[in-house]
Structure 1
């Protein structure tokens, strides 16, 4: 019984040390702006009723403004996230002007967009965002809610 108690105590101590070093915080991006009024999706194929041609794609431009003032002077990694979608798999890919990293993600994932020192209170960049989805599952206007989160590195 004593060995079991030691193992449980050791596991609890390990869990506490991991949670103390892995801190994830939401990043305020409320100052970001979608520069196009709405995302117009177009069929990827002239025969959208076929299984292979059911995809739709849209392109938009987003001015991303990330408020990192609370972590000024720290090192961290910022990720863009997209929750699972009721319409199924959605893929987003983007290019940037250089402050943030270009990349791609699918719904339910997160992708690294910045790694390094947080020297300013605001990180800004313009993303050309390409969204792809299954057009047969889009029955009404959908809203995608991207967000950003920060993993701080331990000092």
Structure 2
């Protein structure tokens, strides 16, 4: 059984899609303890592990305030294979699912002033047979803004 560390990254801008500064975000607990989903998976099923953690998401959307756009959460592909994050939120951020190597829409509309804040309850699921050590997941956020 392994552990996952979820640490927000400090993003930088790139092209028409811009990285969003999420450095003010806070992971509550910092370390996610994974547990087996099933003691004895049925034939043909993967032996998966899951764990849950809460993140206070704080996105600096000030550079795009007053503009319309879409904010996505991203997770790079992982060397240990398939990792899935599913979350619920307490604010205007959209609930959803994200697989490693993809991005998923979490907010669309007019960009607010200053920090955009929400609380996410993340459930992480991974292949328990491939996850053999501590892993670090670098979730980040990107924004696609519409032309003025």
Q: Which has the higher contact order (CA 8 A, sep 6+)?
A: 2
The match for 1:67 among 40, 60, 63 is 60
Shift of 1:23: 1.7
Correspondence for 1:134 among 101, 106, 127: 127
Aligned length: 134
1:153 has 2:146 as partner: yes
Q: Which runs of 5+ in 2 are unaligned?
A: 1-14
Q: Which runs of 5+ in 1 are unaligned?
A: 1-21
**Matched residues in 1 for 2:30 and 2:112: separation?**
32
- Counterpart residue number, 1:40: 33
2:55, 2:120 within 8 Å by CA — same for their partners in 1?
A: yes
Q: Give the conservation status (yes or no) of the 8 Å contact 2:72–2:142.
A: yes
Q: Which residue of 2 aligns with 1:14?
A: none
Q: Specify the structure having the higher radius of gyration (Cα).
A: 1
Q: Kindly state the Cα deviation for residue 48 of structure 1 after the two structures are TM-superposed.
A: 5.9
Measure the CA separation in 1 of the matches of 2:144 and 2:134. 33
Describe the shift of the 1:51–1:38 C-alpha distance in structure 2 as closer, same or farther (beyond 3 A): farther
Q: Which digits, 9 at most, give the CA deviation of each residue in 1:44-67, with x for residues without a partner? A: 111269652510001000000000
Segments of 4+ in structure 1 off by > 3 A? 48-51
- The normalised TM-score by structure 1 is 0.82
Q: Of Structure 1 and Structure 2, which has the larger fraction of its residues in strand? A: 2
Alpha-carbon offset, residue 115 of structure 1: 0.3
Question: CA RMSD of the aligned region, Å?
Answer: 1.6
Is 1:107–2:100 an aligned residue pair?
yes
What's the CA shift string for 1:102-136, capped at 9, x where partnerless? 00010111000000001211110000000000011
Q: TM-score, normalised by structure 2?
A: 0.86
